Amino acid sequence: AQARRVFLAGNSLPERWQGRENFTILETGFGLGINFMATWLAWRNDPSRCVTLHFISLEKHPFNVADLVVAHAGWPEFAELAAELHGNWPPLRAGEHRLELDGGRVILTLVFGDAVEALPALDVAVDAFYLDGFSPARNPDLWSPALCRSLARLAAGGATLATWSVAGSVRRALI
């Protein structure tokens, strides 16, 4: 519910990807992948969806596939998607890992490493951002003005951003 309310609705999805050839989302903090699977399911259920959905997610501390299997059992609505994700899960090595899912129509690029270091190396036009790192108090680097400048550099025209955080430091960094 949080993924749908905060990230999908906060970025006016699925409406914004409808009728487009490609749509790119960048997320800070893959975690268990719930935001990704909620987005993938919404895309799948949308008859007017874009042809290709590219989802880029940065994760400093990725889970191994065995832990994902256990965790994902708590979300039966994602069972089919989770099984495909598990079957394609990359080794836990730093760097970029490109997964082609749903017959190649959903591209998941996982970047295992520090987002502050990885973002400057990315060269992509992002249509929507999901800011979902740990809390600003616990992980201030993921909410810093420097990181926000990196996000701004990647933003396509008309890009949107959504986050659950309302901390004053986050609002100032985004400005």
Mean pLDDT score of the chain, rounded to an integer? 92
pTM score of the predicted model: 0.93
Specify the pLDDT at position 172: 75
Q: Rounded CA gap, 1 and 77, in Å?
A: 12
Of 97, 99, 115, nearest to 107 by C-alpha is 99
By percentage, how much of the chain surpasses pLDDT 70?
91
pLDDT, tens digit (0-9, with 9 covering 90-100), for 36-88: 999 999 999 999 999 999 999 999 999 999 999 999 999 999 999 999 999 99
Q: Which residues on adjacent β-strands are paired with residue 126? A: 155
Of 46, 35, 31, nearest to 2 by C-alpha is 35
Tokens in use for 131? 């800011």
Specify the pLDDT at position 26: 97
Tokens in use for 66? 């065995």
Specify the pLDDT at position 135: 63
**Side-by-side strand order, sheet with 52-59:** 95-101, 106-112, 52-59, 22-28, 126-131, 155-163
Q: Rounded CA gap, 23 and 68, in Å?
A: 26
pLDDT, tens digit (0-9, with 9 covering 90-100), for 96-149: 999 999 999 999 999 999 988 999 999 999 999 998 766 666 666 667 788 888
